[in-house]
Amino acid sequence: MVTTIANFGDSIGIQIPKSFLKNVQFFENDDVEIIVEDNSIIVKRQEERKHLTTKERIASFCEKIENIQPFEIDWGKPQGKELW
């Protein structure tokens, strides 16, 4: 099949026949991953994201922030009745 790249509002895209999508079991509103490889565009079904437990989320967050160095901020001299 030959198709044309066209404007769709603020985007550019191609139309894919429903029969093609049905053959690969893609449906309207499916999340897909688009990959550029060897001068080609590949559209793949997005792998389902695993639901993370609270412990897994905290562990992931801790891994991301472990390299952050704490630092102090000088907020200047007291302006009111706050205690320093």
Q: What is the pLDDT of residue 51?
A: 82
pLDDT digits 0-9 by tens, 51-62: 889 988 888 887
CATH of domain 1-67: 2.10.260.10
Q: For residues 64 and 16, give the distance between their C-alpha atoms in angstroms, rounded to a whole number.
A: 40
Beta bridge partners of residue 32, listed in sequence order = 45
Query: Domain limits of the chain?
Result: 1-67
Q: What's the pTM value of the predicted model, to 2 decimals?
A: 0.48
For 56, the 3-state DSSP assignment is helix
